[in-house]
Amino acid sequence: SAVISQKPSRDICQRGTSLTIQCQVDSQVTMMFWYRQQPGQSLTLIATANQGSEATYESGFVIDKFPISRPNLTFSTLTVSNMSPEDSSIYLCSVVESSNQPQHFGDGTRLSIL
Amino acid sequence: AQSVSQHNHHVILSEAASLELGCNYSYGGTVNLFWYVQYPGQHLQLLLKYFSGDPLVKGIKGFEAEFIKSKFSFNLRKPSVQWSDTAEYFCALSSGGYNKLIFGAGTRLAVHP
């Protein structure tokens, strides 16, 4: 399966700042997604990153707070904007390589906001 | 709306015990079902998947799951667990090969030597 690299692996940020998380895949993939895993909870989909167009956001997530880019078939970024302590979570990138294939996940970015 | 329920939040077993983790879903159409595992300090890994065909699917590390459509269930089983199976297990569904995953709450499994 594709090798997925997320950067940074972890960070501690100040309230009110923004952080951009990168997701790099070693091969072209069909779909890319961003998930959030809040402490002690399961994974929740933030959005589907669409290549060359605006991301598709799930209910409860908005572009102003979580802007996403996907300039090509191997790379995507998620920005967490104007962070507050409630944004402390693990953010995960996942990919689907081709039709009828399962999603594979990156290592995640553990984000703590002070 | 689609949803996934995992009945056991915490399971504690001794080595060599048999394991069954429950997963039920809510969706009226065709589903794809998955079990993912997250070992301590590691990323989420796919254990097994069901798209179609034989409802009994075998995954890595001796795990298997059975899709029972009439019960909307996809329970995970392993006949004999090992200490190294200590992890958190997530059941998930999608309603298409590409589509978003809906995850259950997860089950933390602790296996004691």
The per-residue DSSP string of B50-101 comes to E-SS-SEEE-GGG-EEEEEGGGTEEEEEESS--GGG-EEEEEEEESSSSSPP
pLDDT surpassing 80 at residue B28:
no
Residues of B in contact with A30 (CB under 8 A): 98
Residues of B in contact with A9 (CB under 8 A): none
Determine what percent of chain A is predicted with pLDDT higher than 70.
Answer: 100
* Rounded average pLDDT over B6-32: 93
B90 and A43 within 8 Å at the Cβ level: the answer is yes
pLDDT surpassing 60 at residue A28:
yes
- pLDDT per residue over B74-99, tens digit each? 999 999 999 999 999 999 999 865 57
> Confidence band (pLDDT; 50, 70, 90) for B43?
confident
Q: Which of B42, B44, B45 sits opposite A92 (nearest CB)?
A: B44
A98 or B14: which carries more pLDDT confidence? B14
Residues of A in contact with B90 (CB under 8 A): 42-43
